[in-house]
Amino acid sequence: MALTKLNTHGIGADVILAEDIASNAVTIAELGDQAVSEAKMQISNAGTNGQFLQKQSGNTGGLTWADATTWTATTEGRVTTSQGQDNIDFTIPADVNMIKVVFWGLSQVANDNPFRVLVGHADGTIKTTGYLNTSTYWYHSASTYLTENTTGIQLNGWNSTLNYWYGELNFSSVGQDGRRWFYHMNPYNDTYGEYFAMCNGRLALDSGDQIRKIRFTCGSAGGYDSGGQIIVYSAEF
């Protein structure tokens, strides 16, 4: 005779194990709404608020609580330039592979002094050579201007104090070691809005090194005019 009812003693904890249940015996239809809690799932770590459940086949249970990718501003926050300010540094955390630099109304004090962006090594020193930077600009009914330099990230040929720049500079690194980077900058010029200016390039650091600093500097003395704004974000994907 088949068993149709359990007595009042019930079944003790941990008596029925996974191997005691036939394959596909428990179906979706037999589960009540909101019946499976986090505690009943096999997740490899405890997790914290704000994390998401990520597939990780190499971990216990194949599921892991992980941080969502977010852009985080550097500890310096948004910097507003003062008159003549130069060598404006932003601290980059270790192990990031995406960097976004946003600037508004930047202009240099002196003529023949283009604004320039440099990166800093893990030891805190600034990289001043070894950039592969290609810069170009063009506008209607004019020839294209194209040149290259190795001393920093910059828009060559734009040295006048009349130039006010608005835009962003984006860095992307292949892999997770943070030493091989591609970058691109295509800002708007307030005085010469009909011009299309841009630069892009690559830079490679030595093994074990990383970008740990972003520096805004001018090609020569003078610094920046007051009122420009810069903020730098980073992320790890």
Q: What is the pLDDT of residue 16?
A: 62
In angstroms, how far is the first alpha carbon of the chain from the final one? 60
Q: What is the pLDDT of residue 115?
A: 83
Per-residue CA distances from 33 to 29, 30, 53, 148 (Å): 10, 10, 20, 63
What's the whole-number mean pLDDT along residues 48-68? 78
Q: Single out the residue of 109, 102, 63 nearest to residue 86, CA to CA.
A: 109
What are the phi and psi torsion angles at 136 (to 5°)? Answer: -150, 155
Q: Which domains does the chain have, with CATH numbers?
A: 18-66 (no CATH), 72-235 (2.60.120)
Question: What's the pTM?
Answer: 0.76
CA distance 55 to 208: 29
CA distance 219 to 151: 9
Reduced to 3 DSSP states, what percent helix, strand and coil does the chain have, rounded to the nearest 5?
A: 5, 40, 55
Helix (H, G, I), strand (E, B) or coil at 28: helix
CA distance 102 to 170: 9
What's the whole-number mean pLDDT along residues 168-191? 94
Kindly write down the DSSP assignment for every residue of 159-220, as one continuous string: --TT--EEEEEEEEESSSSS-EEEEEE--EESS-TT-EEEEEEEEEPPTT----EEEEEESS
CA distance 237 to 226: 35
Tell me how crowded residue 117 is: count the other CB atoms within 10 A of its CB: 22
Chain Cα centroid distance, residue 119: 15
CA distance 181 to 171: 6
Q: What is the pLDDT of residue 161?
A: 85
Residue where the block lists tokens 């734009």:
158
Q: Are 158 and 98 in contact (CB under 8 A)?
A: no
CA distance 224 to 205: 28
For the cut 60, the answer to whether the pLDDT of residue 2 exceeds it is no
Q: Can you read off the two tokens belonging to residue 131?
A: 């950039």
What's the whole-number mean pLDDT along residues 175-179? 85
Work out the pLDDT band at 35, boundaries 50, 70, 90: confident
